[in-house]
Structure 1
Amino acid sequence: MQRLSGKIRNTALMKIPKNTGFYIVFIAASLFFLLIQYMTHLEFMMHLAAIPLEILVGIFIVERFLERREKKEKRRMLMFIKSYLFRSEMLNLFIANFNALKFPAITMVKIKNATLEELKQMREEANTIEYKSPETMEPVIMEYVKAEHVWHNFRERAITYNFEEIFQDMIYILHFVYDVKLFKNNNPDNLFIYEAEKKVLIMEKVKKILGGGIRKFLDYAIELKEKQPDMFYDLISDYELSSQIRFPQNEDRGQTKI
């Protein structure tokens, strides 16, 4: 973990010495011309001193513009990658997670038909998560374990795109997955959630990860609603259909509760 975290920090820091040295050269050139002007009183030197600073400002503006554009493009690519993963390898995880929810009562029909403001209200309500029972949380936990390769995938992409926040989230989830796997290896017939209930810190981690999954899904739904409404509709429709297949007993007046 330390090696990978260091890799991200080093990627960001590699640019600092080079850019700093570049700026220092231009500033030094400007100071040099100012020194000559001070010694010779030649007004022309003032104009020469201004040239490196003007170039420096121009370079700085262009660099910031390119960095913002690059970051925006990376975020856009990540959005499409998440669309694929959410509709394939993470589908069972999210369906199980929403199905276990007691509060807030969120359904895919509600999400699909919601306005942007209503989606944001759902997201606000999801800051407080309550599950139906500990037993309903266990399948969600095991889906996180099954999706271990997905967390590794996201971790590697976070390193590639220099998204340190995502990297830290994946490390946190992977540590949780390893804890669950270790417990299951030693206690194959016992529920992990019962063990978590005995230890406050572990239970807090369970709630943070499972509740965080709900919030991440809603964050992504809001992002798609704003930027890619067609993709939003297709994604939620897939989830609605899959939920009907997996949990037909949750249908209520034509609405799928998951």
Structure 2
Amino acid sequence: MTATATVMQPAAPLAVQGLSLSFGGIQVLQKISLQLRPGEITGLIGPNGAGKTSFFNCLTGLYSPQVGSIRLGDVKLEGVPPTGRAALGFSRSFQHVALCPELSVAENVAIGLHRQSRAGWLDAFLPLPQGRAERASNRELALAALSRLGIAHVADESPSQLPPGVLRLAEIARAIAGQPRVLLLDEPAAGLNSVETRDLSDALKKLRSPGLVLVVVEHDMDLIMEVCDSIHVLNVGTLLASGTPAQIRGNADVVRVYLGDEDE
């Protein structure tokens, strides 16, 4: 399938049931059950070491839980490797921005289209016949992703010349360029100042769409409370609480183990 032939797959919830993960006898996640719905922004919060990144790694196939199931709609994901999950529509950003300074911002974003590219992401950058059409269509999709986040004006600039907030938005643009069904953002506000965090908040709200399961791991509680429709709280590998932002703010257990730290 070429980039211009991208087909939007139907919206589907991401259902996690009884998920448990351990390493060397250490329980990292224990009996996690939750449903992540398309059309919502879901927050995943908790203290350091609560299991948030491990949970993301289970969703994307980097880790294989010993117990439990993960389904995207009717599709069981047990045994599906990370590449297979990417083909199903999983996309992810990481805490540390990793853009190649030798490529323009648009070229970096186009790398996110490799899973649906017939020529392959490397061929698409080489002056070969099979890569020319890919290169043109990938640039169009990259520009569309950048425009969606309000930073199309930096498309031809080098990442090395851009501030952290714009780099973060560029990385998210790369993650959405392939029109994912599941988007996992790992601490997108890390290292951003207050103005950049405000821009990030505005951008995240623009990503809310009926066909996308969007999950955000974040320590910035003001951001989480503002953009999220629902929040799940992990603590030492267990699901402590789930609810709306107002419900989570008013949960005594959550305040005791996590939110209370914000005022200390």
Give TM-score scaled by structure 1 length.
Answer: 0.24
Report the structure, 1 or 2, having the larger helix content.
Answer: 1
RCO higher in structure (CA 8 A, sep ≥6): 2
Report the structure, 1 or 2, having the larger strand content.
Answer: 2
